[in-house]
Chain A
Amino acid sequence: MPTLSLAVLAQIIAVILSVPLGILAAYRRGTALDLAAVSVSLLGAALPGFLLSMFLMLFFCVYHQWFPVAGYVGLGEHLKYLFLPALSLGIVQAAYITRMTRASLLETLYKNYIRTARSKGLKEGRVVMRYALKNAAPAILTAVGQSFGSLITGTIVTETLFNIPGIGMLTMGAINRRDVFVIQGVVLFVTLLYVLVNLIVDILYGFVDPRLQPGRK
């Protein structure tokens, strides 16, 4: 449960940060904003998750004391403790999703139907949101699905660092005790989760893009 809420919160943060940023970067291609988005996402890709967590801890907990450094309480106080680990996981994932969003949206923005929509006199916002984004959505969804997979593993390191008693802590404890059965169990469980998320993404394709529905010609 702690792991799941951590992963879900991190994913929400990642999507909130990355999708709008990716859209803006693609729409204003070549401007300072685009350059900033690309460099931030490059930097995010170069950061190991635990390093970002340590930087965040140093800044938010040691220098400013806005958040508790580590630990985990039940669901009520939960969010305050969960925010920093989720943020550090989310930012790393956001870097990847931003890049994918930007790339796939850039591709669709140069398609003919976008030009048609523009020449029809539709508003820019509608063109980008309804016409371009809808067609770029499958690629973005793939990125989100993949990042969820790496998120689950990312929690292992983050949980040990922030002392959250989830699957990650269980794994680390088992490794330190050379408890092979627990390790096998965790690997099996996480792999199952990974495959399950991929399945959900595959099913969602059909909703996002009806052309990809199976059995439709």
Chain B
Amino acid sequence: MSLLHKNTSAVSEAVFKEQRQLRRERLLASPGLIIGFAGFAVVLALALLVPALSDTDPNAMVVIDRLKPPSGEHLLGTDEFGRDLFVRLMYGARVSLWVGGCVAVFSCVLGVIAGIYASYFKILDHILMRICDGLIAIPGILLAIALIAALGTSSWNVIAALTIVYTPSVARTVRASAMVIREQPYVEAAKVQGFTNFRILWKLILPGVISPLTVQASFIFAQAIISEASLSFLGAGVPAPAASWGNMLQASKLIFSKAPWTMICPGAAVILCVLSLNLLGDGLRDFMDPRTEGGAKK
């Protein structure tokens, strides 16, 4: 008996080892994941380290130096008030990442709560899903603009508006995966054993929902950065003197024919950040679900 037990544990250890090996190989085989992670890490690091790296105030105006092209003194040039674009770009990264991160976290938390309870209780399902249907039917940016018009512009209101926009899609994804897990034999077994609903939901169903959720969180992060930039561009985002990528693009709208660097730099920053987040999301999806293309099939 003990011999058999020993054997099975040895076998399972070997299987685990092989799985770990496979996982490492898959990780190395997906360049997108690594590139995405590296790109995002660079942006994050610059955003966090900027107060240490430079003592230039992002809002300090030097009128003599206005609209200077990129040079040694101002790495990426200056804008129409003579503010250093490189420093503003880094401070803008803080705003964009803060808004994007908050939106991703909040909408995931709310979406998980709504989705998981909706998957388990029939009446709640009907109510919550109809609310989600209604919210999804309204185009995202428009809903955010309408909310901000009602609430007033501030970075917290932007976060709140975008969270409301993205929560329904999270709730739907969570509900869809939770519905599958709910039918599994082990959940039924837990029910028979008299587990409380709370424990079944958070201990048994939640772990199965985490992997699609992480993937969606990275996409929402990216989408939120784009939306924040669009909102600020329209003047409905983070209010003006603060540096944000959308604000910088809005300011460059009138002057970019004379000073194209005021547009190209924040634009490139948005693209870099969103692209790496998208690559990260794609890579994570392939990594967690090898059945999709780009994974082990090749």
Q: Does B226 contact A (CB under 8 A)?
A: yes
Contact partner, A62, options B138, B235, B249, B257, Cβ 8 Å: B257
Q: Does B214 contact A (CB under 8 A)?
A: no
| Residues of B contacting A103 in the complex (Cβ-Cβ under 8 angstroms) | 293
Binds B, one of A124-132, A135-143, A189-197, A209-217: A189-197
Interface size for A (C-beta < 8 A) is 38
Determine the distance from Cα of A176 to Cα of B149 in the docked complex, in whole angstroms.
8
**In the complex with contacts A48-B230, A54-B267, A160-B234, A190-B149 CB distance below 8 A:** no
Q: Are A54 and B263 in contact (CB under 8 A)?
A: yes
- Residue of B139, B140, B145, B146 most packed against chain A (CB within 10 A): B139
Interface size for B (C-beta < 8 A) is 34
Mark each residue of chain B from 259 to 277: 1 if its CB lies under 8 Å from any CB of chain A, else 0. Answer: 0100100010011001100
Q: Does B174 contact A (CB under 8 A)?
A: no
| Residues of B contacting A58 in the complex (Cβ-Cβ under 8 angstroms) | 256-257, 260, 263
Q: Find the B residue at minimum CB distance from A49.
A: B230
Q: Are B234 and A42 in contact (CB under 8 A)?
A: no
Q: Does A5 contact B (CB under 8 A)?
A: no
Q: Are A186 and B142 in contact (CB under 8 A)?
A: yes
Determine the distance from Cα of A148 to Cα of B279 in the docked complex, in whole angstroms.
25
Q: A-contacting residues of B (Cβ < 8 Å)?
A: 137-143, 145-146, 149-150, 222, 226, 229-230, 233-236, 249, 252-253, 256-257, 260, 263, 267, 270-271, 274-275, 278-279, 293
Q: A62-B257, A106-B293, A153-B140 are in contact. List 16 more A-B contacts (CB 8 A).
A: A42-B278, A46-B274, A46-B275, A48-B226, A54-B249, A54-B263, A153-B142, A156-B141, A175-B145, A175-B149, A175-B234, A175-B235, A178-B149, A183-B146, A187-B146, A191-B137
Q: B-contacting residues of A (Cβ < 8 Å)?
A: 42-43, 45-51, 54-55, 57-58, 62, 103, 106, 149-150, 152-153, 156-157, 160-161, 171-172, 175-176, 178, 180, 183-184, 186-187, 190-191, 194-195
